[in-house]
Structure formats: structure tokens, C-alpha cells
Structure 1
Amino acid sequence: MPRRRFTILVALFVTVVINYLDRTNISIAAIDLARDLSLTKIEMGIVFSAFAWTYSLFQIPGGLLADRVRPRLLYPLLLTLWSIATIVQGMAGTLIMLVVCRVLVGVFEAPSYPINNRVVTSWFPERERAGAIAFYTSGQYLGLAFLAPLLVAFQAEFGWRALFYACGAVGIVWAWIWHILYRDPDQDARLTEPERRAMAAGGALIDWADRHDGGSAAKAAKAPALSGLSVALSSRKLWGVYLGQFCIGTVSIFFLTWFPTYLVESRGIEFAKVGFIASAPFLAAFCGILLSGTLSDWMVRRGVDQGLARKAPVLIGIALSTSMVSAIYAETDLQVMVIMSLAFFGNGLASITWIFISLLAPRNHIGLVGGVFNFIGGLSAVVTPLVIGLLIEGSNFTPALIYMCVVTLIGIFAYTVLVGKIERVPAPSCN
């Protein structure tokens, strides 16, 4: 991989780490926070869910924004705003203030994954795209795997409020660094012309100015938003990946919200040990993501059918995620760690699903379709924390584990029956 593209990919990776740090630090703070603010399980479910209310709602506007504003400008602005909301979160003294802060973090993080997909689609040929998506997506797992013990130790030393202050400060610093590092391919002076031609020949959509400033593809880019939305909502293939993303997200959200509480209250593990035990599933998910992207791209380069190469890791991963229900019968901490690591490894294996947006969405509506995709996937972050909060009986998480197993089985149906052959959905006519 040319050095410049590798730099862009590393920058995306770091951004994803910070993105997930600010949306999931609440899971580390939850136990002390709930005690200090006297919050019930249902109220904590509301707090966990609040981020996703606006994160999901703003996916479609965020996708449209990602299609129209360059990532060099849009990402630093969003990073700064959600980081400020994270800092204010540490000042919360009531449930309402905490929920408002979580809602604001959701608003400003909403366009982030459509932006990520826009960057990868611009910089990477199709044959390398799954690996690139897997690499930056792995940041949500690898970062938390290594940071979880540090976050637990930091909170134990300085308290949950300081945890939010520190996370917000990191985001503000990185916003400045991103603005310095990033350029689109059509504006990057460090990218050679042969590299641009090779990227374009491989399917990278480097013609940003052409698509948005009146060039040959500008008419397609200016297709009415309602027309694009009609295609995004009427395609069976796209609904297959939307539903599948909801199901995959259900497992992810459990690990990103309730998992530390599950370890402490249901399994009786000391909070001081939670960071290390919780890091194992995140490391497993990281391995799953890297294996998935590498294997999928390797199969494509070997001439394997596109549908099989892209779907196989996802279907195998979803099937492995169902293993988490067996934690009901686990007797030791080690058994729980192994079972949950296997389930989250499967979730990581299934998490290259953004590749389907690159391959299926109309070329002039990738951001919009990505927004719909992330909106429906994001609904899992609205539903899952609330459902688990309602299903928990005292400290018994058994009904919650069964619920997640059933949802993952629905995900298998979505990819096997609804998605069908991998081919790009036709763009709406622009008359």
C-alpha cells in the first residue's frame, strides 16, 4: 500500500478509536455513576440508549452532509463538538443533564461513519476496500481492548467525572491533527498522478470536484435527495444489509454498554478486574475484523465469486455470535471470558458490512445510502440497552442473552434471503 494511503488509513483508525471511546466510556463509568446519581437499571438503560436516539435520527442528514462537505473540514468540526459534549457530561448531576449530553454526542457523531466510508471509497480501489474498512473499523475494538484496563484504573484513581474530561480533551487535540493530516485525493499534493490513475482504474471514486463542482458527474450528484431516498428505501438488497446491520449491532451494543455491569452484577467479578476481563472479547473482535477483511479481499483477488467472498465472513461471524447464549451455563470466570470472546470474535468477523454499501449503493448516493444503513443499524443502540434494562431480573441476564441470540438468527436470514446477488443498485433517473 502506498505510504499516503496508509497514513490516511491510520488516521481513520485513530479517529474511530476516539469516536468509540467517547460513545462507550459511559459503560466504564456506569457503576459508579449510577451509584452517585442514584439511577435504577431502567434509568441506566435510558442513559445507554440516549446516545443512539439522535445518532440514528441524524444518520440520513449526516450521510447527505458527508456527500457535500469535505472530510478535512467536517470531521474536525464534529470531533470538537462531540468532545465538548463529552466534557460537559462529566459535570452532570442529574439524569436529565446526563441524557442531554448523551443526545448531543449522538448528534455530532452521527455523520462519522458515512464520512469514513466516503474517505475509503475515495482512497481505495474496490479490491482493497474490505481490508481498509476492516482496518479502520477494528479501531472500535482494539482501542477499547487496550484502553479498557487503563480507563478502569483511571476512573478508580480520579473518578468517573475526570474520565469524561480526559476523553473530551483527547478528541479536541485529535480534531486539530486530522485537519493538518487529511486531504481528499483530488487535493492531496503528496499523491502522484500515476497513483491517482491507478486508484481510479481500480474503482476509487477520487473525482470529488467533478462530482460536486459541476463536472461530468455533477448532474448525477445533484439528483434530488428524495429520489435517492426512494431508491435507498425500496431496494430489497439494501433492506437486507440494513436489517443485518441492526442484528449485528445488537451484539455490539451489549458489549459497549451493559457488558461491564453484567460482569460485576451477574457474574460477581470485582470492578478492579473488569477492565482486564472485558478487554479479552474486544481483542477477539479485533482479530475477527482483521481476519474478515483480509480473507474477503484475498478471496476476491483469487477470483472467488463476489457474493461468496463478501458474505461468507459475515454469515460465519453472525453464527458464531449466537454462542453467547451458552454463557448462561458457564460456571467460572474463565468460561465466561472464552464464551464472550468467541461471540465477539464472530461479531468482529461480521463487521465488514460497510463493504456492501460501497458495492450496492448507487454511485451518486453512497453517503445517503450509508446514512440509511447506519440509521437502521443505529436503532439497535436505541432498542438494545432499553430491552436489556427491562429484561434484567435483579442481576439475572439470562433473558437478555436469549434475546440477543434470537436477533442474530434474524441477521442470518437477512443476508441469505434478502441481499441475494451482489450487484450495484441502479441510480434514480435525473430528469
Structure 2
Amino acid sequence: MRQLIFIRCPGGWLLDKFGSRKIVTLAFVGMAIVNILQGFITFYSGLWVLISFCILRGVIGFLETPGVPAFIRVITTWCPLKEKGFAGSLAGAAQYMAVFAFVPFFAWFVSEYSFQQLFFVIGVLELLVAWLFYRSTPAPAHHPKVNQAEIDYIREGGGLPDMDLKKKEGKAQKTVSWRELKAFVTNRQTIGIFISQYCFNCLAFFFLSWFPMYLMSERGIDIKATGVLVAIPAFGAFIGGLSSGALSDYLMRRTSSLTISRKTPIYIGMLCSFSMFFCNYVDSITLVVALMTLAYFGKGCSTLGWVILTDVAPKEIIGTAGGIFNAFGNVSTIVTPIVIGYIVSYTGSFTWALIFVSAHALLALFSYLVIVGPIKRIEASPQQEIHQPLTQQPVKE
């Protein structure tokens, strides 16, 4: 079991061991090299093309693993609690805006040139991003534009500005035992958050893998119109991500309660996501797109789940915790497309598929309402009790 956790979450473990700056920079450089190699893949022939491509895509998948855990560590390093909600949601919502920024350009480039040359372009862009990331993300104490008053502001507000500094200075770093890691994984808060992340990813991958097919096969929309209609809910998800972060920070300033400020946007988001259920009872394409946009808006609110993880994960293993969290959620990315495929194949329609996906919104809502309980950081020290009592009070700033 221990080996399985670290195989599934290598990025998070590496981040905790070596720090965000070094690992993410190396990951970008590695992805750049692999993508450039993919541009040469047609020099092979026959079966070797497929084998080479699968191997290189597998390496890309491995190199991507530090991505999401890294951004939550960087946000935890730089942001006090009352500002972390918007920062985390903005980072999470950027994935939806990337659809607008890159997909049209990639489609144009491939039509004008070739997909092999596109790999070269992506590789160069990744090298540029690696350089920019390394230049812009030193520890706050080592950043030339950050003074001591700003570092104290982050620390006093609940941020962890020294998290990567210890690694850079070569100080002894506490190694979290397997017993402590197991205690974190089996914690009540952790279980509830993991279940919710599984549900969030179910919603996400319906839109990524089956929503275009739903519009074409169930609603009779042609492929060109489908391309436009699919973009509308994605923009709604982007707005949902930004709105949830802004609302969370506002509530944190007004109430000083992590529980209220973090959970409220999740509640609103999951109620919005359930709206896709009502697509089974309307005929208007306009209403269908409106309901789906509302549902994806709600999914966008779930980007706050990553911020919540940084609020509860032991500070010694935030990267590893993020890796486990990401791996658990990604199980849904495997299950959801397959289950929906069987449902549609067996029933001949998307009616039960929409019920299946919308039910995940209710399960996520239930998980945060009942299982997660009050939000508080879990300590990974053997001298401190990791499991929280059911009567625990909300954490103040």
C-alpha cells in the first residue's frame, strides 16, 4: 500500500522533499524535451510509431504530476488565509480559460502546418514557462521585492512563507512516517474531501468527454454549432471559479471562519451543478445550454476544494497530500467516461447519464455537509492527535 501511494502521487512527494521551485522547473523542462521528441516520432514507421508515442505520452503524464500540488503549495507559501481563496480559485479556473486561449490556436496551427511542428512550438513554450516560473517563485524571504513586513503579514494571516525556505537552506526536514500519513488519509476531514473531489471530477469529465456527444446525438446539433455551444459552459466554469474564490475571501474577512468561508461556495456550486438534471425535461436548446452553463458554473466553484486541502493538510506533507488528493480524484476520470458510455449504449439516451452525473453533485454536497465537519489543519506530529472530535468548533483566522 505504501508503495502504491507514492507511485500514484510521486509529484507531491518530490515537492515535499525538494520544494516547489526546483521540481516544477525540472518538470517543465522535462515536458519540453519530451514534446520536442514527439515531433520526431514520424521518423519511425509502423508499430514503432504507436509504441514510441505511448511511451512518450506516459512520460508526459508522470511529469505533469507535480502541477496541481505545486500550485497549492505556492499559494500556501504566498497567501494569508483571507486572500488564499481567490488566489487558489483563480489558478484552478485558469484551466477553463486555456480552452479559449490555446485550442483555437492549436487547431489553426495544425491546419496550416503540421502536428509535428506543433510539438516543437509547445516544447519551446514550456521552456519559456520553466524560466518564468523559476524567476518568479523564490521563497518570500528570498524575493527581491518582498520585505519583512510582508512576510510577517503572510505568516500572521495563516500562510506558510517558510515552507520551501527550509529546504533551500538545507535545514533538517522532518520525515513523516507511514503511520502518520495513514492517519491523515483516514481522517474524517480527508475522507470527506476526497469523496467530494471524486464527485467534482465526475462533473468535469462529463463536460470534457460526453457533453459534445450529448449535444450532437441527443439534441441533433451539428458539429460546428456544437463547438461554439461547448465553449459557453466552459466560460461559465471560469466565472464560477473566480466567484467562489472572491466569495470565500469575503466571508473569511467578515466571519473569520474557515468552515463558513470555504464551505459556502461549495454548497452553492453543487446546488447549481444539480441543474443539469432538469435538462431531461426541457426541449429548448437555449434552456439546455443555460442549464448546462449553470451546472458547469457550479463545477467551477469546486476549484475551491484545492484551497480547502491546503487548509487541512499537515504543513509537513502538503505536497504529498496534494498528490494523493489528485490521484483519488483522477479515479473518477477513468470511471466516469466508461460508466456513461455503458449507460448510453444500454439505454439509447443520455437521460440516466445526466441523472448519474447530477447525483454526484448531491453526493459532494452531502460529503461537505455531513462528513467533512469543521475545517481545521490536521497536525502530522506523533505528539498531537490527528483524528478530530466530532464536536470540534470552526477554526478562526
Q: What TM-score do you get using the length of structure 2 for normalisation?
A: 0.83
Do 1:62 and 1:114's aligned partners in 2 also have CA atoms closer than 8 Å? Answer: yes
Equivalent position of 1:174 in the other structure: 129
Q: Which amino acid aligns with 1:323?
A: S
Equivalent position of 2:11 in the other structure: 62
Q: 1:270 and 2:225 equivalent?
A: no
**Structure 1 residues 122 and 419, CA gap change in structure 2 (3 angstroms):** same
Equivalent position of 1:251 in the other structure: 203
Equivalent position of 2:165 in the other structure: 209
**Structure 1 residues 384 and 100, CA gap change in structure 2 (3 angstroms):** farther
Q: Secondary structure at the match of 1:223?
A: coil
Equivalent position of 1:118 in the other structure: 73
For 1:168 and 1:287, locate their aligned partners in 2 and report how far apart those are by CA, in whole Å.
Answer: 30
Deviation at 1:391, TM superposition (A): 2.8
Equivalent position of 2:264 in the other structure: 312
Equivalent position of 1:283 in the other structure: 235
For 2:11 and 2:177, locate their aligned partners in 1 and report how far apart those are by CA, in whole Å.
Answer: 13
Cα deviations by residue, 1:7-27 (Å, 9 ceiling, x for unpaired): xxxxxxxxxxxxxxxxxxxxx
Paired-residue identity, %: 33
Q: How many residues align?
A: 372
**Structure 1 residues 272 and 158, CA gap change in structure 2 (3 angstroms):** farther
Do 2:89 and 2:307's aligned partners in 1 also have CA atoms closer than 8 Å? Answer: no
**Structure 1 residues 69 and 346, CA gap change in structure 2 (3 angstroms):** same
Correspondent of 1:183 among 121, 135, 138: 138
Q: Which amino acid aligns with 1:409?
A: L
Q: 1:198 and 2:150 equivalent?
A: no
Deviation at 1:170, TM superposition (A): 2.8
For 2:338 and 2:111, locate their aligned partners in 1 and report how far apart those are by CA, in whole Å.
Answer: 27
Deviation at 1:172, TM superposition (A): 3.3
Deviation at 1:194, TM superposition (A): 1.9
Q: Which amino acid aligns with 1:400?
A: A
Equivalent position of 1:32 in the other structure: none
Equivalent position of 1:428 in the other structure: 381
For 1:205 and 1:345, locate their aligned partners in 2 and report how far apart those are by CA, in whole Å.
Answer: 30
**Structure 1 residues 391 and 127, CA gap change in structure 2 (3 angstroms):** same
Do 1:228 and 1:365's aligned partners in 2 also have CA atoms closer than 8 Å? Answer: no
Q: Which amino acid aligns with 2:372?
A: V
**Structure 1 residues 265 and 349, CA gap change in structure 2 (3 angstroms):** same
Do 1:145 and 1:280's aligned partners in 2 also have CA atoms closer than 8 Å? Answer: no
Equivalent position of 2:96 in the other structure: 141
Equivalent position of 1:131 in the other structure: 86
Question: Where in structure 2 are the equivalents of 1:14-413 lying within 5 Å?
Answer: 58-86=7-35, 91=41, 99-154=54-109, 166-207=121-162, 208-210=164-166, 213=169, 215=171, 218=172, 221-303=173-255, 305-393=257-345, 396-413=349-366
Question: More deviation in 191-200 or 147-156?
Answer: 147-156
Deviation at 1:157, TM superposition (A): 5.2
Cα deviations by residue, 1:375-423 (Å, 9 ceiling, x for unpaired): 1112111222222333332974333322212222221121111100111
**Structure 1 residues 177 and 265, CA gap change in structure 2 (3 angstroms):** farther
Cα deviations by residue, 1:49-71 (Å, 9 ceiling, x for unpaired): xxxxxxx9755321111112233
Q: Which amino acid aligns with 1:419?
A: V
Equivalent position of 2:395 in the other structure: none
Do 2:343 and 2:353's aligned partners in 1 also have CA atoms closer than 8 Å? Answer: yes
For 1:283 and 1:80, locate their aligned partners in 2 and report how far apart those are by CA, in whole Å.
Answer: 30
Question: More deviation in 110-119 or 391-400?
Answer: 391-400
For 2:288 and 2:33, locate their aligned partners in 1 and report how far apart those are by CA, in whole Å.
Answer: 37
Question: More deviation in 222-231 or 81-90?
Answer: 81-90
Q: What TM-score do you get using the length of structure 1 for normalisation?
A: 0.77
**Structure 1 residues 230 and 77, CA gap change in structure 2 (3 angstroms):** same
Structure 2 residue ranges without an equivalent (≥5): 385-397
Q: Which amino acid aligns with 2:366?
A: F
Structure 1 residue ranges without an equivalent (≥5): 1-55
For 2:148 and 2:119, locate their aligned partners in 1 and report how far apart those are by CA, in whole Å.
Answer: 44
For 2:281 and 2:37, locate their aligned partners in 1 and report how far apart those are by CA, in whole Å.
Answer: 41
**Structure 1 residues 100 and 319, CA gap change in structure 2 (3 angstroms):** farther
For 1:160 and 1:326, locate their aligned partners in 2 and report how far apart those are by CA, in whole Å.
Answer: 40
Deviation at 1:245, TM superposition (A): 0.6
Q: Secondary structure at the match of 2:142?
A: coil
Deviation at 1:117, TM superposition (A): 0.9
Deviation at 1:114, TM superposition (A): 0.9
**Structure 1 residues 210 and 57, CA gap change in structure 2 (3 angstroms):** closer
Q: Secondary structure at the match of 2:380?
A: coil
Structure (1 or 2) with the larger CA radius of gyration? 2
**Structure 1 residues 231 and 103, CA gap change in structure 2 (3 angstroms):** same
Do 1:153 and 1:272's aligned partners in 2 also have CA atoms closer than 8 Å? Answer: no
Deviation at 1:133, TM superposition (A): 0.2
Measured on the aligned residues, the alpha-carbon RMSD in Å equals: 2.9
Q: Which amino acid aligns with 1:391?
A: I
Deviation at 1:96, TM superposition (A): 5.9
Q: Secondary structure at the match of 1:205?
A: coil
